[in-house]
């Protein structure tokens, strides 16, 4: 069986190309407002006056009674983060005693919690708002996710994610946003239950409709009420990310055929060596560019992704016994898709769908090579899992099924004919965090396309002189490794 081999230019033999892999669990950063003292006192007065005049209206600015639940996550970091949050909340609102809150929280238990369960805890301690927190650690880095809930209903008012540096939390990174979110919680009726029942019974006997529950009355038109509705919970984080670098990939195309075929009658295989190239990939979270969107907590987890990969200086060598050929070869791949990132504790699960193409073309210059070009067009569906494994180090594995809708020249009637085509794409990588927004990763990738010919192509039949099918199928494999640098904006 004849074999075609591929190679790269000498300058590219050690080249690496970054595959377009962007981590589902991107580091988040929240901007705080830096307050610098200004010596001229009149500038201070003018600034404060303008701020009061131009500031948008807040929810009721009165103090709220706030219950801060025990935080989940690594015990030491969770305790330290909660203490910082308590101090930040106490500067603007009234923090309820830890003992009462902890007792009510223990009674709730470790079951799956619903809004009604959170409301029960808040009602037990007389809280207008309930703050819960989860610390997710990744090596030396960690992220605190704060959720502010209305005491009356238990529903989430806002979700705030704050990066922790060396296990510590900076108050300037979240204090203002947290205080604003708590202010959206409506004050609850803290009248003793027995007194409330007596008052309602008296009101019912007297027919006084005004003696209903003691809730604040809002004198506002319906449009004004809509304008001051509580903001949707948001997932803060980078709006976009890009990843680029170097990698190496080799291709191996083999066929299954009748064992009785003589060597010169067997199909021509392709045995590719390592070839370098360049690649770029990116990820964009569209909803994070908009201040207010419906279902923001879910839309903020949706990303649009793209990838582009192209071999550089690739050539294929072929010999027909009388002459050797060194032919330019083009190998490229691109894809687009949508992903949804779901955090499960310290693990991020990334699911999604996409569309892509993989092309391998040899510029034969009129030479009959016996190896048809391929251009796979496919829809992909799959998932990825990322988790911390050590300080600053995380691992990621992914798998995608390729539903191939076109394969190019190889499935034409003049080649091997119609075929059932399917594929799989797998990836495993380890990343090291250089900085909060920058990481360096290395990994391996394996892509395999299987073709099952139906015997209608000229190159699949009559290779030994009889009309029977001689070539049953093919396996097209692409194996590579990569190093890449990622940056989140």
pLDDT value of residue 276? 95
Beta strands in 370-437 (DSSP E): 374-390, 393-406, 419-435
* Axis-axis angle for helices 98-108, 115-125 (nearest 10): 150
What is the spatial distance between Cα 294 and Cα 300, in angstroms, rounded to a whole number? Answer: 10
What is the spatial distance between Cα 92 and Cα 293, in angstroms, rounded to a whole number? Answer: 28
Q: Residue-wise pLDDT tens for the chain (489 aa)?
A: 556 766 554 333 332 222 333 233 323 232 232 333 334 444 444 444 444 344 444 444 578 899 999 888 887 788 888 888 988 888 889 889 888 888 888 877 656 678 888 888 888 888 999 999 998 887 677 888 999 999 888 888 988 988 887 667 776 668 888 888 898 888 876 554 444 455 555 545 544 444 444 433 333 333 333 333 444 455 656 789 889 999 899 999 999 999 999 999 999 999 989 999 998 889 999 988 887 667 667 888 899 999 999 999 999 998 877 888 899 999 999 999 999 998 887 788 999 999 999 999 999 888 888 899 999 999 999 999 999 898 788 999 999 999 999 999 999 999 999 999 999 999 999 999 898 789 899 989 999 999 999 999 999 998 988 889 999 999 999 999 899 999 988
192 to 35, 147, 298: CA distances (angstroms): 43, 28, 38
Class of domain 3-22+238-488 as given by CATH = mainly beta
Three-state DSSP class for 97? Answer: coil
Rounded to 5, what percent of the chain is helix, strand, coil? 20, 45, 35
pLDDT value of residue 104? 83
What is the spatial distance between Cα 103 and Cα 123, in angstroms, rounded to a whole number? Answer: 13
Beta bridge partners of 233: none
* Axis-axis angle for helices 175-183, 75-90 (nearest 10): 70
How far is C-alpha 361 from the chain's CA centre? 33
Domain residue extents for the chain: 3-22+238-488, 41-52+61-184
Angle at 136 between CA 130 and CA 139, to 5 degrees: 155
Strands of the sheet containing 94-95, edge to edge, are 94-95, 65-68, 129-138, 141-150, 156-164
- State the Cα torsion 282-348-163-231 to the nearest 10°: 90
In contact, 128 and 66? CB cutoff 8 Å: yes
Three-state DSSP class for 148? Answer: strand
Residue with tokens 């015997």: 455
Domain 41-52+61-184 superfamily per CATH: ABC-type transport auxiliary lipoprotein component (3.40.50.10610)
- Token pair, residue 187, equals 């004050």
């Amino acid at each position: 069986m004849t074999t075609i081999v591929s190679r790269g230019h000498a300058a590219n033999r050690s080249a690496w190309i970054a595959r377009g892999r962007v981590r589902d669990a991107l580091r988040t950063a929240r901007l705080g407002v830096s307050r610098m003292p200004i010596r001229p006192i009149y500038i201070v007065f003018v600034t404060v006056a303008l701020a009061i005049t131009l500031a948008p209206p807040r929810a009721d600015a009165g103090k709220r009674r706030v219950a801060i639940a025990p935080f989940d996550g690594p015990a030491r970091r969770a305790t330290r983060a909660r203490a910082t949050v308590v101090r930040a909340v106490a500067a603007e609102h009234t923090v309820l005693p830890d003992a009462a809150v902890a007792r009510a929280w223990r009674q709730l238990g470790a079951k799956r919690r619903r809004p009604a369960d959170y409301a029960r805890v808040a009602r037990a301690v007389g809280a207008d708002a309930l703050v819960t927190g989860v610390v997710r650690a990744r090596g030396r880095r960690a992220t605190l996710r704060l959720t502010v809930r209305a005491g009356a209903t238990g529903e989430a008012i806002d979700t705030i994610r704050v990066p922790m540096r060396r296990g510590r939390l900076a108050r300037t990174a979240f204090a203002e946003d947290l205080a604003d979110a708590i202010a959206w919680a409506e004050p609850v009726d803290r009248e003793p239950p027995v007194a409330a029942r007596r008052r309602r019974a008296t009101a019912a006997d007297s027919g006084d409709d005004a003696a209903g529950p003691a809730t604040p009355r809002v004198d506002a038109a319906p449009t004004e009420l809509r304008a001051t509705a509580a903001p949707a919970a948001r997932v803060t984080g980078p709006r976009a990310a890009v990843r680029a670098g170097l990698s190496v990939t080799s291709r191996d195309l083999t066929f299954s055929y009748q064992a009785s075929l003589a060597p010169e009658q067997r199909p021509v295989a392709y045995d590719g060596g390592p070839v370098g190239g360049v690649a770029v990939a990116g990820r964009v979270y569209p909803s994070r560019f908009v201040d207010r969107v419906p279902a923001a907590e879910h839309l903020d987890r949706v990303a649009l992704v793209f990838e582009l990969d192209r071999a550089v200086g690739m050539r294929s060598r072929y010999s027909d016994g009388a002459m050797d050929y060194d032919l330019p070869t083009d190998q490229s791949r691109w894809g687009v898709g949508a992903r949804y990132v779901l955090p499960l504790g310290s693990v991020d699960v990334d699911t999604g769908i996409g569309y892509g193409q993989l092309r391998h073309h040899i510029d034969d210059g009129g030479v009959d090579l016996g190896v048809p070009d391929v251009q796979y067009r496919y829809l992909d569906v799959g998932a990825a899992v990322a988790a911390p494994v050590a300080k600053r180090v995380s691992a990621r594995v992914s798998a995608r099924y390729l539903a191939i809708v076109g394969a190019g020249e190889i499935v034409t009637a003049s080649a091997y004919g119609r075929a059932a085509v399917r594929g799989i794409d797998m990836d495993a990588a380890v990343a090291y965090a250089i900085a909060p927004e920058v990481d360096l990763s290395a990994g391996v990738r394996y892509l395999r396309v299987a073709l099952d010919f139906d015997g209608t192509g000229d190159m699949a039949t009559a290779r030994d002189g009889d009309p029977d099918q001689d070539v049953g199928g093919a396996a097209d494999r692409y194996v590579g490794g990569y190093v890449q640098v990622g940056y989140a904006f």
